[in-house]
A and B are shown apart, each in its own frame.
Chain A
């Protein structure tokens, strides 16, 4: 059993209530920070912890905080990104649903560190039932003097509100999220200026993921140095992993960074291995945006080093033979999975979710979906395969926000690692479109 700092009490009955949460040691970080530390001291601890943004990009949280501009006469905002929409990722939803106070405690302590007087939790609109759980917990905090005027007699005041989105993956991008919070379409902004200077309502703003913010209380209680001792190298602390797809035990697991990937995938404590006694074929290891890897390249690098669960180890080999930890969304595929169909599905997702602002993404995602659709449905040509890669290269790096890259990577990596499967679809359309047909590795065996 690894150390659990976010989910230790997740199964305690009543942990969603303030009373039980406090009994288990909750809100100590608020007392400690507001009464014994200056805001800068809190920022310093988070910097020392090495905590990296848990939404997917992995940018150091403390550094992001230290960029926040502090001009006179302008409010500053902390906005929590709870717009969890990356396919394969459902950790924030589970954390907020089960332990809403973990996020709220983190919001209070973090808001104090940043000097915010009003903070928002932007939650995806589909999670309205989680919004109600959060609002109930927030009401408990106002009643207990943990929110509102003069929190715990410290002189610090904070208002915290939850804001529902309307159904748009793009609002997980921080500047699209801010546009949306201002009541507009979720079109990402050009940067610079970054939100740290020009964020919500033109004021300095920090946008952090749910899990990042929920990690702050432990750091404040136990010091950043202690947090940095967990994990390996620059991958400090624990990480919530959402595990889905063809495994025996789908769910959310908190792991210490550095855990061997083989242990995570096959031990009964975590994923419990591939379901139905089947073989491990491929994995998308960091949410749908990251490159897909064949099973063997996931378990070991191209050099044969066993991989561990860290930002660095999963990206070893670059995009040629590696991937990314991303948001920690593990989508596992067994040997009956059609990679072409799966890639088409993801392309359809990105086409659907493109905000339409930049032509390469708006048009390119549509073309990739169309080409993949025709390959999957038996109308593809051999040159379509290179055309796909060509389109993906013209999207990548040519858009205002990273949705373009996120749409390009899954396609380029699927062709890179599974080109034979695309070719098989083109060569044998009648077989590829038969119900349940999957390329088996030996072209004609499956249908002999």
Chain B
């Protein structure tokens, strides 16, 4: 899905709008605001992996709520990127069970390979390196998430292969 965004106007694609309308239909008519999280997910996928203030204003407009009601939600939940991100956002689990199976080493390895620290973008703008808390994959750690996909049972070799594959995409 891809939407268009100019300085003054944010436009969701038709496909995204259909998905948004489908979500809104799941809740009572006077409770449209319930659809805010699903719509923020759709918005993030539409507009380059992050939600700008303009995009959030558009979400507020769609839901007939005040922009602040969207900002307070988007800043509470960790999945929403409020700043521009690289083409691929690597979200590495850093929590206990993954740490026991080597997550610290994986994160260090990624920092070296990408030449950036956790929370930063690689110089070529290709990758954003994030650490996240438990992703419910504790038996398959260490692991990371890229968009909707989990990559599990990773080691440095598999990680390098994955980075190569992503660079070619």
Binding site for B on A (CB under 8 A): 84-90, 92-93, 120, 124-129, 132, 159, 161, 163-169, 180-186, 201, 242-246, 250-252, 284, 288, 329, 331, 333, 337, 341-342, 345-346, 349, 352-353, 355
> Are B79 and A125 touching (Cβ within 8 A)?
yes
> Are B79 and A331 touching (Cβ within 8 A)?
no
Please report the number of residue pairs spanning A and B whose Cβ atoms sit closer than 8 angstroms: 145
* Majority secondary structure, A binding face: mixed
Which 7 residue pairs spanning A and B have beta carbons closest together?
A166-B77, A167-B79, A250-B139, A183-B33, A244-B138, A167-B78, A183-B36
A-B contacts, 18 of them at CB < 8 A, read A85-B136, A93-B136, A124-B136, A125-B77, A126-B132, A163-B37, A164-B37, A165-B77, A166-B73, A166-B77, A166-B79, A244-B100, A244-B141, A246-B101, A252-B139, A342-B100, A345-B95, A346-B96
Report chain B residues within 8 Å CB of A166: 37, 40-41, 73, 76-80
Report chain B residues within 8 Å CB of A352: 133
> Are A349 and B76 touching (Cβ within 8 A)?
no
Shortest Cβ distance from residue A162 to the other chain B in the assembled complex, whole angstroms: 9
> Are B72 and A331 touching (Cβ within 8 A)?
no
- Judged by a CB distance under 8 angstroms, whether B158 is at the interface is no
- Judged by a CB distance under 8 angstroms, whether B148 is at the interface is yes
> Are A331 and B100 touching (Cβ within 8 A)?
yes
- Judged by a CB distance under 8 angstroms, whether B18 is at the interface is no
Complex Cα–Cα for A251 and B79 (A)? 26
Report chain A residues within 8 Å CB of B134: 85-88, 169, 288, 349
Complex Cα–Cα for A285 and B22 (A)? 41
Complex Cα–Cα for A174 and B134 (A)? 19
> Are B97 and A126 touching (Cβ within 8 A)?
no
Complex Cα–Cα for A159 and B79 (A)? 28
Complex Cα–Cα for A88 and B136 (A)? 7
| B42 closest partner in A (C-beta) | A164
Complex Cα–Cα for A109 and B70 (A)? 35
> Are A164 and B135 touching (Cβ within 8 A)?
no
- Judged by a CB distance under 8 angstroms, whether B66 is at the interface is no
Shortest Cβ distance from residue A278 to the other chain B in the assembled complex, whole angstroms: 12
Shortest Cβ distance from residue B45 to the other chain A in the assembled complex, whole angstroms: 9
Report chain A residues within 8 Å CB of B95: 87, 288, 345-346, 349
Report chain A residues within 8 Å CB of B138: 87-90, 242, 244-245, 250, 329, 331
> Are A84 and B136 touching (Cβ within 8 A)?
yes
Report chain A residues within 8 Å CB of B101: 244-246
- Judged by a CB distance under 8 angstroms, whether B125 is at the interface is no
Complex Cα–Cα for A165 and B126 (A)? 27
Complex Cα–Cα for A164 and B35 (A)? 9
Report chain A residues within 8 Å CB of B139: 90, 242-244, 250-252
Report chain B residues within 8 Å CB of A93: 136-137
Complex Cα–Cα for A355 and B41 (A)? 21
Report chain B residues within 8 Å CB of A120: 26
Q: Mark B87-111, 1 if CB is under 8 A from A, else 0.
A: 0000000111101110000000000
Report chain B residues within 8 Å CB of A168: 76-78
Complex Cα–Cα for A310 and B146 (A)? 38
Complex Cα–Cα for A167 and B26 (A)? 21
Most chain A CB neighbours (cut-off 10 Å) among B36, B76, B139: B139
Shortest Cβ distance from residue B146 to the other chain A in the assembled complex, whole angstroms: 11
Which chain B residues in 29-53 approach chain A with CB under 8 Å?
31, 33-38, 40-41
- Judged by a CB distance under 8 angstroms, whether B168 is at the interface is no
> Are B97 and A201 touching (Cβ within 8 A)?
no
Complex Cα–Cα for A127 and B145 (A)? 10
Shortest Cβ distance from residue B147 to the other chain A in the assembled complex, whole angstroms: 8
Report chain B residues within 8 Å CB of A163: 26, 34, 37-38
**18 more CB-based (< 8 A) A-B contacts, given A185-B76, A250-B138, A352-B133:** A126-B135, A161-B26, A166-B77, A166-B78, A168-B78, A182-B31, A242-B139, A244-B101, A245-B97, A251-B139, A284-B96, A288-B134, A329-B138, A331-B138, A333-B100, A345-B94, A349-B133, A349-B134
| B80 closest partner in A (C-beta) | A166
Report chain A residues within 8 Å CB of B33: 182-184
Most chain B CB neighbours (cut-off 10 Å) among A168, A346, A355: A168
> Are A126 and B79 touching (Cβ within 8 A)?
yes
> Are A169 and B97 touching (Cβ within 8 A)?
no
- Judged by a CB distance under 8 angstroms, whether B162 is at the interface is no
Complex Cα–Cα for A127 and B79 (A)? 11
Most chain B CB neighbours (cut-off 10 Å) among A86, A128, A246, A333: A128
Shortest Cβ distance from residue B112 to the other chain A in the assembled complex, whole angstroms: 16
Report chain A residues within 8 Å CB of B31: 182-183, 201
Which chain B residues in 47-80 approach chain A with CB under 8 Å?
63, 69, 72-73, 76-80
| B34 closest partner in A (C-beta) | A183
> Are A127 and B96 touching (Cβ within 8 A)?
no
From A90, A129, A161, give the contact of B149 (CB < 8 A).
Answer: A129
From A159, A164, A182, A252, give the contact of B38 (CB < 8 A).
Answer: A164
Most chain A CB neighbours (cut-off 10 Å) among B31, B69, B96, B133: B96
